[in-house]
Amino acid sequence: MYSILVSATSFDKGKSGVSVYICNCLRELAVEHRVEVLAFNDDISLMPQHDNITYLPVRSFLKVPVINMLWHLIWLPLRICWKRYDFVLLPAANRRAFLFKRGTTLAVVHDLSQYHIDCKYDPLRMFYIKRILPGCIRRADRVIAVSCSTQTDLKKYWHMPCKKLCVNYNGYDRQIFYPIKDRTVLRQIREKYALHKKYIFYISRIEHPGKNHLNLIKAYERLPEKLRREYDLVLAGSDWSGAEIVKAYAADSSSCDSIKFTGFVEYTVLPVLMSGAALYVFPSFFEGFGLSLVEAMACKIPIACSANSSLGEIGGDAAMLFDPAEPEQITESMVKILTDNNFRNKLVEAGTRRKELFDWRKHAEKLVACYESSKN
């Protein structure tokens, strides 16, 4: 049994992929190890509770991004009693990392999207990510990339030594992501979100341009009229930077009555929305992993997704791939899946097999193995 310290101040109130990652890592690591977690008070209730997990509350003023960044860089590594822990885990090292360390550190990097999406962040944050973080991450004992795509970026942009790198796929929550067939439950969720027709589904924060909602809406507008009458386009997720641009375009669309924004969806509700969908579409311009692809596979929903970054890698033979910059290709993918039952079934069957590659227990075990290999 190892003693592990985890910094979880990037939890985002449970509303991001990083929060899903943190919850599942804590849950699985606590099965065999003692875990102490640095977290904000209002996040702790959203995280796993276990006899082997101890939460260390962090003061709320550290929620200010610049202060939190400096705290991680300088103050936290000074304050840690390094002898108390076998290793420190930084579960969102592409956001927060140590300027120096006095013990074993594992840094998890989800993506380097700032190199792929113009104006992803403001100039100060871009400077921090491109000029300060790379040197910090290179000091970690092991750097875990959640996909081969992210590993490639770490080598190319941050010149990360191969000997420190490890690819470790995310998993999915097997307890809640499976096909929901209870008609009463499905009907209740449809009523909650006013979904009166069959629907095409996409969940992501409403962020422009990175998540590419505009091209998905344009692709939906190009569907044959018969399909637009039969299927709504349901866009789930919280409003982020540029959401007003996406919603303004949708409001002016000739198909505005068929484009539904649900807002933030509770994680436990997501499998029901997934299971009720006719098709899952993931048109993002860039992703470090794309967890919802695996969740859709587990719910036995056919998938169409971007061929870029990690999405083609994770989707594999279980997804129909398209160029996210070409709405016509997105339209063709949707039409193919919605009208060809044999092809649709082929994707679902492939997804049922492929989802077995992604397991949180295996992910946690590999984190520990990375620590052990760093000591050799």
| pLDDT on residue 242 | 94
- What is the mean pLDDT of the segment spanning 139-155? 97
Across 9-32, average pLDDT = 92
Domain-by-domain residue ranges, the chain?
A: 3-171+359-374, 183-357
- C-beta of residue 265 within 8 angstroms of C-beta of residue 179: no
Pairwise CA distance, residues 230 & 197, whole Å = 6
Mean pLDDT along residues 242-246: 97
Is pLDDT larger for residue 44 or for residue 375? 44
Contacts 24+ apart (CB under 8 A), 18-21: 18/91, 18/92, 18/95, 18/110, 19/46, 20/173, 20/267, 20/291, 21/91, 21/92, 21/108, 21/110, 21/146, 21/170
Instruction: For residue 333, give the 3-state DSSP assignment.
Output: helix
The β-bridge relationship of strands 105-109 and 142-145 is: parallel
Answer whether residue 311 shows pLDDT above 80.
Answer: yes
DSSP state of 135: H
Q: How confident is the model at residue 125 (pLDDT cuts 50, 70, 90)?
A: confident
pLDDT(118) > 80: no
At 14 the pLDDT is 77
Beta strand extents in 91-216 (DSSP E only)? 105-109, 142-145, 165-167, 198-203
- DSSP letter string, 40-79: EHHHHTTS---TTEEEEEE-GGGGSHHHHHHIIIIIHHHH
Q: What are the b/e assignments for 230-250, b being 16+ CB within 10 Å?
A: ebbbbbbbbebbbbeebbebb
Q: Which fold has domain 3-171+359-374?
A: Rossmann fold (3.40.50)
Close Cβ partners of 115 (under 8 Å, ≥ 6 residues apart): 130, 153, 157
Q: What's the mean pLDDT in 46-58? A: 97
| Cis previous bond, 209, omega within 30 | yes
Average pLDDT over residues 183-208: 95
| Separation of alpha carbons 235 and 277, rounded Å | 12
Predicted local confidence at residue 18, as pLDDT: 92
Same fold, 3-171+359-374 and 183-357: yes
pTM across the whole model: 0.92
Per-residue pLDDT tens for 71-102? 999 999 999 999 999 999 999 999 999 999 99
pLDDT mean across residues, the chain: 95
The CATH number given to 183-357 is: 3.40.50.2000
Locate 255 and state its tokens: 């198909």
Q: What pLDDT is attached to residue 164?
A: 95
Q: pLDDT at residue 124 above 90?
A: no
Complete DSSP assignment for 270-308: HHHHHHH-SEEEE--S--SS-HHHHHHHHTT--EEEESS
Q: What is the pLDDT of residue 66?
A: 93
